[in-house]
Amino acid sequence: MGNELRFDGKVAIVTGAGNGLGRSHALLLASRGAKVVVNDLGGSSTGGGRGSEAADKVVAEIKAAGGEAVANYDSVEDGTKIVQTALDTWKRVDIVINNAGILRDTSFQKMTEQDWELIYRVHVLGAFRVTQAVWPHLRDQGYGRILFTASAAGIYGNFGQANYSMAKLGLVGFANTLAIEGRKKNILVNAIAPIAGSRMTETILPKEVVDALRPEYVSPLAAWLCHEDCQETGALFEVGGGFMAKLRWERTRGKVFKLGRAISPEAVQKSWESITGFTGATHPTDVASGMQPVMDNLTSQSKGGNEFIDVDAALGYEFPETRSSYDERDLSLYALGVGAAQDPLDTKELQYVYELHGEGFRPLPTYGVIPALNSVLKMSAEGKQAPGLNYGLDRVLHGEQYTELLRPLPAKATLRHKGRIKDIFDKGKNALVVTEVTSYDAQTGEPLVRNEITTFVRGAGGWGGERGPVTDIPPPERAPDAVITEKTHENQALLYRLSGDWNPLHADPEFARNFGFQKPILHGLCTFGYVGRHVIKAFANGDPRLFKSIRVRFADTVLPGETLRTEMWKDGERVIIRCKAVERDKVVISNAAVELHKEIPTAQAKPAAQASAPAAASGSSASARVFGAIRAYVAQHPELITQVANVYLFKLTQPDSAWTLDLKNGAGSVQEGAQGKADCTLELTDADFLAMTSGKADPQKLYFGGKLKITGNVMASQKLGFLAKVGPAGEGSAPAKASAAPAPDSGGEKTGNGQAPAIFKALGERLAQKPELARELGAVIQFLVTGPKGSWVVDGRETPGVREGTVEKPDTTVRISDEDLVTLKEDPQSITRLYMQGKLRVDGDVLAARRLRFL
C-alpha cells in the first residue's frame, strides 16, 4: 500500500515484549519493517523468576513472518545491556517503548516496603535505565521516538495499587520533561495509559472483560506515536477497546487573593465555589502557563477589604446589562410621589402629571434615578450581587446620590442600563460603595442619564483603604437666595414607593420599629425629588429641561408628614442646596448642588430606516421638503397671519425633528426646531407625517388611533386646511390633503355612506319645530364624526339649529364614530357608557354634553 506507515530501516526496543501489550507492539512494528529488540526477563507478573522462552517465542513469530528481531533477556534495571544488544546487532536505535511492568497489588495498610520498592525498580528505575542508556545515541543522530506506558490507576488512583499508581503517574511526569529536553534534537516523547487484557490486568478485571480488551486495539496508537511522521510530543493518551483519547490538565479559574493582606481560612471557605468550580476552566500546558496566575498576582497589591467587602473582587465589576421602559403614566406617578401638583391649578407643576398639558408634558429630571435604581434593586432581589460584597440590606443606607441628565428625558422610552462598581472607600468604621449606572436610549444607543449611587455600609470599614475624595459643598455664609417650604403628606412614602423602591422600611410599621424608627420613614430619593423640583421652580422658571445634574448627601431621615424647607444659593450655573425637616430642625440633605444648563440640550437623532440624500439637519429629507414647500406658500400668502393667528409646533419622531410654523407673528415663518411658545403642538412619527401630508393617511384616524397627539389649542389645528393648497413638496411627499388636524374643515371630504347626515338633518328639523330644546341645551356643540368622517355644529345659543361644518370656539367638542352616534340616538342613556369605554370623547364643557339626551 502506497500510503502505509512504514518503519523500514528503523530499530526499535520494546521492553516486556514477551506477552500482552509488548508482544503486540513488537509484532506490529516488525510487520511494518522495523528491526525489533524483543526484551523480556521471562518472570511472572509479580516479578518472580526469569527465563528466555517468552522473548524467543516472539522473535520466532517475527522471523516466521519475514521480519527481523533479536531477543534480550535482561532486566530493565540493566538498561545499558538492552540498548547494547541493539547497537551490537544493528548499530543504532530509533525507537524505545518502555512497556515492562509487574504488579504487587495489596491495600496500603498491608503493603510492604518490598512491594513498594519492587514496583518502583521495574517501572520507574527500569524505564530510567533504558532511556538514559539510549538518550546520547538519539541526540547524536538527531532523531528518536520514546513511548512510556502509564496507567489509568496512575491518573485516577485505584484501590490496592498505591505503589503501581505512584510509578505510573511518575512515568507521565518523566515523559513530559524528556519531551521538553528532547524537542530540539527531534526526540519526541509521549505516554499512553492502555486498557488491555494482559497478565497484569487479569488480576483486577473480570475474565470476559480481559478477553474483550485485546492488546491489538492499543498497538496502532503506539505505532503511530513512534512513527517519524508523527510530531506529537509531551502528550498522554488513554487507549483500549477501540477507544483513543488525548488527556490534558484542566484547572478551575480559581480565586486570586491579592497580596498585601492576610488570607484567612474563613476567606478560603467563602471562596470555595470559585476555587473548585470548573465554569470557565483553563488548560495549562506547561510550567509557565501553570504559574501564570501566580506570577501575575506577584505584581499586584491588594486594595484591602474584610469579611463584608473584598475590594479586589468587587471594584470594577460590571453588572449584566438590563432593560426597562417607562411612559407618561410612570412619570406622572413619580411626580405625584415627590409632591408635584399639590396645587392642581399650578400650570408649571401640572406639566409633570398631565400628558395633555397645553405647553407640553415635561418629565421631572430627578426621575432619571428611578430606572437605574430599580435595575439594581431587581438584580438584588434576584440574588445578583457583585462578587466581594457580602452584606445584606440590614447594613446599608443610601448615603449619597449623583444624577446627571445628558439631555432632557423623553416622555417615554425603553432604556438599557450598564452598571459597574466604580469606587469603594474606607471611612473607618463604615464603608462607601459607589455604583455607577449609565442608562441609554435602547433605540439610538444615545446615553441619557448617568447615576452614581453611593451606598453607606455600616460596620464594613476599617481595612485601612482609601477614604475617598472630599465632596463637601458648604452653603455660603449668607441668607439663601430662595427658600421653598412644602409639607409632605402622611402617606407620601406609600405613594412614592409605587415608583419602585419596595424596601419595607418605608411601608411596614413593625419593620420600621425593629430598626429603631417610630414609623416608616420617607425614602431619601423622595426628598431628593422634592429639592430637585424646588430648584427648577426657583431658578429655571419651572422649565425642567434646563436641569443638568444634582448631587446630594442624605444627612438624616424624614418622616412622612413632616415639612421640608429647601434653602438655595445661586452660584453661577450651580445652585447650592440645604434641606431641613422643619419640625425637628434637622438637616436632612446636605452637601448638595444642582447644575443648570444655559440652553436646553437637543436630542440625538434616531437612525432613519434608510438613508436619503441630501439629508436635513434633523428629520428626513422628505419631511424637510414638505416644510420647505409650506415655507414658500406662507411667503406667498401673508393673509394667513390674520386668518390663522396661531403658532404651531410639529414634533416628529423616528427620526426626531421639530418644526415651528409661525402664522401669528410678522410675515409668518417656517423654522426648524422648537422656536418660542407654540399655541398648538402636533406630535406624530415622521412616517405618519409624510403619509398624512401626501393624502395616504387620514388625520382623524391618526388622531383617534393615538398616532397623532395634539396639545394646547386643539381647535387651532382645524385652521391648517390651507395645507391642501401648498402643492407638491418634492420627491417622497405630496401636498397636504386637507389638514394636519384631527377634524376636517367645512370644505373637507364628505361621504354619504354613514347615518350621521340623516341624524343631524332630523335633529335640525326637530330643533326648528321645538326651539325650547335649543334653549335647554344652551351651548354650542361641535360634533366630529368618524367612519365616515364629517362635522356638524349643534347651536343651542346664538343661532339655534344644526349646520354642517365647524365653528372656531365651541363650548363643547364631541368626537364619536358614526356607528356609536347611531347607538346614542337610539339609546340616549348610553352616553355615560360610551364615554367610560373611550368611544365618546368630550372636550370643553363636559356638563353641556350631558344635556344631549334630547337626541
User: Catalytic positions, please?
Assistant: 164
Half-sphere exposure of 540 (CA within 13 A, CB side): 27
Sheet holding 563-571, edge to edge: 322-326, 413-427, 430-441, 447-457, 396-405, 547-554, 586-596, 574-581, 563-571, 482-487
HEC sequence for 116-152: HHHHHHHHHHHHHHHHHHHHHHHHHHCCEEEEEECCH
Q: Are 253 and 276 in contact (CB under 8 A)?
A: no
- C-alpha cell belonging to residue 402: 449623583
Query: Using CA atoms, how far apart are residues 800 and 631, in angstroms rounded to an integer?
Result: 40
> Greatest CA separation found in the chain?
139
Residue burial 310-337, b: 16+ Cβ < 10 Å; e: rest: bbbbbbebebeebebebeeebbbbbbbb
Half-sphere exposure of 711 (CA within 13 A, CB side): 19
Query: Using CA atoms, how far apart are residues 791 and 810, in angstroms rounded to an integer?
Result: 12
Residue with cell 422610552: 413
Number of H helices, E strands in the chain: 28, 28
* Side chain identity, residue 460: A
Determine if the peptide bond prior to 560 is cis (ω within 30°). Answer: no
Per-residue DSSP letters for 55-93? HHHHHHHHHHTT-EEEEE---GGGHHHHHHHHHHHHS--
Closest CA to 735 of 616, 611, 633: 633
Residue burial 370-400, b: 16+ Cβ < 10 Å; e: rest: bbbbbbbeebeeeeeebebbbbeeebbebbb
Query: Using CA atoms, how far apart are residues 408 and 351, in angstroms rounded to an integer?
Result: 14
Query: Using CA atoms, how far apart are residues 382 and 394, in angstroms rounded to an integer?
Result: 17
